[in-house]
Structure 1
Amino acid sequence: MARTQKNKATSYHLGLLKAKVAKLRRELIQGPSGGGGGGGGLGFDVARTGIASVGFVGFPSVGKSTLMSKLTGTHSEVAAYEFTTLTTVPGTVKVHGAPIQILDLPGIVEGAVDGRGRGRQVIAVARTCNLIFIVLDVLKPLGDKKLIEAELEGFGIRLNKKPPAIVVRKKDKGGVNITHTVPLTKIDPEEIKAVLSEYKISSCDIAIRQVDVTLDDLVDVIEGNRVYVPAIYVLNKIDAISIEELDLLYKIPNSVPISSKEWLNVDELVDVMWEKLDLVRVYTKPRGLAPDYDAPVVLRKGRSSVEDFCMSIHKEIAKQMKYAVVWGSSAKHSRGQKVGVDHVLEDEDVVTIVKK
């Protein structure tokens, strides 16, 4: 592919190769039978607790275990040599009343996606997390960042990206029909047809609604097994660098420089973590009483309707509900709004459930 010049005459050939590479990579990861080759494995995946999970990913000896131990109070083996953590170590930290599960994963090595250093098991657990902390040594952040991104990308994890606005609808006949509401600047119809040919798709409707869609985006949609996970680059050991160097680190997108050893700037990291997890706190208010601000019901954005709120407390409440009264940013007026089960709640809303 690197040797092939990109032009109209070669676009079909390049599309074919791109699809072949994606299929071969999937087989490497899952095995020819598609069994998920090297999933959680003994000691890797753990019982999930809390409202969300955050996985610590990084090379050995970057300070993941020290940060985990201090953040959660959970003992994760710490030493000045590589591969101290050999299994997933779970812990919990409470943020704004919400229990967040922290998973300290064993250090990965270059070539992890191909199985080196039990890397497949580590990355398989990372795929299931709601947020990934990529912990980097501040003395060599950019090189390590690029390597870890490549390992995670190779395992179908897309960091800080949204799913491409591409819809592929297979049909029995009628050939390939491509529609797009934006100009195609990085992909052309011949490449699209080549990818479809490799996947043995002869008839389908493809709708593209996103600028700068690439061939990789199309392959991701067809493969259908990609996960889109937010990530924070935790630049550890800032106690070892100067203020001038620290200013440069802040220019790295989605990064938070900290020192787990000296406990510097960890408050900012927790704030950014909460923001990235996109959680919603909802307070209960029994009729005639003040709201309970000590124990919020925590929901995920996109799953924060009044029905979700009821179900998170007890599944019978939604069945018994006549209506709810909501105060807060989702309500139309400050004195409270009467709503049904489909009403979407916002962060720090207060809710009273009125039963039938």
Structure 2
Amino acid sequence: MAKTQKNKATSFHLGQLKAKLAKLKRELLAGPSGSGGGAGGVGFDVARTGVASVGYIGFPSVGKSTLLSKITGTHSESAAYEFTTLTTVPGVIQYRGAKIQMLDLPGIIEGAKDGKGRGKQVIAVARTCNLIFIVLDVNKPLQHKQVIERELEGFGIRINKEPPNIVFRKKDKGGINITNTVPLTKLDYDEIRAVMSEYRISSADIAFRCDASVDDLIDILEAPNRRYIPVVYVLNKIDSISIEELDLLFRIPNAVPISSENGWNLDELLEVMWDKLNLVRVYTKPKGQQPDYEQPIVLRQNRCSVEDFCNSIHKSLVDEFKNAVVYGRSVKHQPQHVGLSHVLMDEDVVTILKK
């Protein structure tokens, strides 16, 4: 593929090869049992607690274990030699009223996606996280960043990306029907036909609502095997570099320079973590009582309607629901009576009225 020049004559061939490659990678990662890369194994399956999970990924001896200990108070074995952590070490932090689980994963190496150094198990656990901290040692080449990104991408994790805005619907007959609301500059019809041919899809409706590439189209077809996860680059050991070097690090997108050993800049790291997790805190207010600001109901930003709020407390609340009284940023009047479909915002106060 690298040697083939892309033009009108070769686009069908290249599209077919990319689709073939994606299918082979999926089969390789699934393994003989089709288990999705072998997430199991001693110490890798951990009980999930809290409203969200954050996975720590990085090369050996970059300070992941020290960072976990500083933030959560959980002891994770750390030493001056590589591969100290051999299993997943979980810890929990209570932040802004939300319980968030943190997972210190064993160090990965180049070739992890192909199984080197327990790499498949490590990345398989990372796939289940809501956020990934890629921990990097500023004294070691930042090429480590590119290596880890390549390993995660190879395992179907899309870093700091939104799913492509492509609507795909398979049909029984009628051929391939393609529509696009924006010009397609990275993809032509030959490539689309080639990909569909490789996936043995003869009839489907495909609507492109973004300037998609052939990789975006393949990602949509491989949807269950793709995870779109936000990533924060944690640049550790800044206590060992100069101020001038530190200024350069602040220019890296989605990066937070810290010193886990000295506890420097951990507050900013937690703030960035909170923003990336997109969590919404909703406070309950029983009728005739003061709001409970100690234990908020924490919801995901894409699932924070009044109905979601009710279900998170108890399923029966929806059946008995009359309306809700809401104070906060999501309503124009304070208070306001709303229905089940009303979307709540961070730090709203809600009273549920039953029939």
1:321 corresponding residue in structure 2: 321
1:138 corresponding residue in structure 2: 138
309-318 vs 111-120, which moves further: 309-318
Maintained 8 Å contact 1:324/1:352: yes
Maintained 8 Å contact 2:62/2:135: yes
Maintained 8 Å contact 1:141/1:235: no
Offset from partner CA, 1:170-199 (integer Å, 9 cap, x none): 112222121111111111110111111111
Instruction: State the one-letter code of the partner of 1:66.
Output: T
Instruction: State the one-letter code of the partner of 1:63.
Output: G
Instruction: State the one-letter code of the partner of 1:314.
Output: H
2:345 corresponding residue in structure 1: 346
2:6 corresponding residue in structure 1: 6
Offset from partner CA, 1:237-283 (integer Å, 9 cap, x none): 00011111111111111000000001100000000000000000111
Instruction: State the one-letter code of the partner of 2:346.
Output: D
2:111 corresponding residue in structure 1: 111
Maintained 8 Å contact 2:37/2:124: no
Alignment partners' CA distance in 2, 1:270 and 1:31:
36
Instruction: State the one-letter code of the partner of 2:341.
Output: D
Instruction: State the one-letter code of the partner of 1:350.
Output: V
Instruction: State the one-letter code of the partner of 1:234.
Output: V
Instruction: State the one-letter code of the partner of 2:339.
Output: G
Correspondence list, 1:136-215, <5 A: 136-140=136-140, 142-211=142-211, 213-215=212-214
CA displacement at 1:64 relative to structure 2: 0.2
The SS at the match of 1:126 is: helix
TM-score by length of 2: 0.97
1:312 corresponding residue in structure 2: 312
**Which 5+ residue runs of structure 2 have no aligned equivalent?**
none
Spell out structure 1 runs of 4+ moving beyond 6 A: none
CA displacement at 1:41 relative to structure 2: 2.3
Summarize the Cα distance change of 1:127–1:37 in structure 2 as closer, same or farther, 3 Å threshold. closer
Q: Aligned pair count? A: 354
Q: Are residues 1:256 and 2:256 paired? A: yes
CA displacement at 1:232 relative to structure 2: 0.3
Maintained 8 Å contact 1:40/1:122: no
2:46 corresponding residue in structure 1: 46
Maintained 8 Å contact 2:158/2:228: yes
Superposition RMSD in Å: 1.1
TM-score by length of 1: 0.97
Offset from partner CA, 1:215-241 (integer Å, 9 cap, x none): 111111111220000010000000011
Instruction: State the one-letter code of the partner of 1:269.
Output: L
1:265 corresponding residue in structure 2: 265
Summarize the Cα distance change of 1:283–1:325 in structure 2 as closer, same or farther, 3 Å threshold. same
CA displacement at 1:287 relative to structure 2: 1.6
Maintained 8 Å contact 1:123/1:152: yes
Offset from partner CA, 1:68-106 (integer Å, 9 cap, x none): 011101111111111111110111001101000000001
Alignment partners' CA distance in 2, 1:228 and 1:296:
27
Instruction: State the one-letter code of the partner of 1:307.
Output: E
Maintained 8 Å contact 1:62/1:136: yes
Alignment partners' CA distance in 2, 1:91 and 1:172:
49
Summarize the Cα distance change of 1:323–1:44 in structure 2 as closer, same or farther, 3 Å threshold. same
118-127 vs 173-182, which moves further: 173-182
Offset from partner CA, 1:43-85 (integer Å, 9 cap, x none): 1021100000000011100000000011101111111111111
Instruction: State the one-letter code of the partner of 1:148.
Output: I
CA displacement at 1:32 relative to structure 2: 5.1
Alignment partners' CA distance in 1, 2:245 and 2:184:
40
Alignment partners' CA distance in 1, 2:238 and 2:83:
22
2:70 corresponding residue in structure 1: 70
**Which 5+ residue runs of structure 1 have no aligned equivalent?**
none
1:122 corresponding residue in structure 2: 122
